[in-house]
Amino acid sequence: MRPPKQSNDSKKSSGNDPKPPRGKWLESVPTTEELLEKILKEMKNPQKVPTMPTGLKELDELIWGLHPGNLTVIAAQTKSGKTSLASQIFWNVIKAGKFGAYFSLEMRSEEIIKRIACQEMRINGFNAFHRRCPTAEDAENVHRFMMMCFPFAHIIIDDRGYNADELIESVDDLIAAYPDKPISFIVVDHVQRCQVIPGQSRNEAVSNYVSTLKYIAQTRKIAVLACSQLHRVEGYTKWSSEIEEACDTLLKCSWPQDMSDWERYEINVELSRHGPSGKIDVRFLSNFTRFEDRA
């Protein structure tokens, strides 16, 4: 039951009190009837594919892509594919017509877009960018990718979002700047790079930052995909247990112990609010830093 809306007279403050009337927030809280109507509408018109797909069929069957209001975490050890997987998912959701922002706390935005170009156009990034010996075909593929980018709304940011307040402000700025194309999701890579203020421990900083990611997802009604380091020995998320407690979907990723198949990469869905847990194997094409379904 929602309280009746206040009349214009009742909304006026008395005396010199500048505060808004108490209980105003209750008007925006949906009733149970409204929630059930929304659920029934979704049941009558089920989605055949995720609206924010990862692009990996088996993974999408387990987690059904990214979800508004939810925090998804990719957890892996250092140099174990977190950024490559996050950037590939980022671009797949962008191609699905969603507006997203990539907050890179570790790499420059130029490096992120290079990686996405290699994944999308199958460019050998080592030869094209690191050895500085690109072929004419590489240059043509980068040009084609540049033309392909124009219709897609996205932004890659490498100089903001290092602390909780700045990240909230940045997301709100994006919402205000693009009212006709609402932002649907953000990627943050990675949480252990967040700023530690004086007097704060690393654990406290990471815990506060992760809580902020969850807060942004729920209050701004957008999907949040975050990368996190895994402890090398114990296998839990580094610096903070808050990461595993706060997330709605947890993907723990690694190279298999048996390296006889060097293209094999394991994604363990340890937690998913939208499907079963389980482990899947995908192919990692190292020349392109690209993941593909094995089938």
Angle (CA) 274-277-283 rounded to 5° is: 105
DSSP string, 66-134: --TT-EEEEEE-TTSSHHHHHHHHHHHHHHTT-EEEEEESSS-HHHHHHHHHHHHHT--HIIIIISS--
Which is nearest to 171 in space by CA: 111, 212, 206?
212
Distance separating alpha carbons of residues 227 and 103, to the nearest angstrom: 11
Distance separating alpha carbons of residues 171 and 157, to the nearest angstrom: 11
Q: Over its length of 295 residues, how does the chain's per-residue pLDDT go in tens digits?
A: 444 555 455 444 445 555 656 677 777 788 888 888 887 887 777 777 889 999 999 999 999 999 999 999 999 988 889 999 999 999 999 999 999 999 999 999 999 999 999 999 999 988 888 767 788 998 999 999 999 887 788 999 999 999 999 999 999 999 999 988 889 999 999 899 999 988 888 888 998 999 999 999 999 999 999 999 886 545 555 555 778 888 999 999 998 877 777 889 999 999 898 888 999 999 999 999 999 998 7
| Cβ–Cβ under 8 Å, residues 171 and 216 | yes
> What structural domains and CATH numbers belong to the chain?
49-293 (3.40.50.300)
Distance separating alpha carbons of residues 294 and 95, to the nearest angstrom: 22
Half-sphere exposure of 51 (CA within 13 A, CB side): 11
Strands (E), the chain: 71-76, 99-104, 154-157, 183-189, 223-229, 249-254, 264-272, 278-285, 290-293
| Cβ–Cβ under 8 Å, residues 126 and 134 | no
All residues at 6 or more sequence positions from 126 whose CB lies less than 8 Å from its CB, including other chains = 287
Dihedral of CA 197/199/200/202: which sign?
A: positive
pTM of the model: 0.84
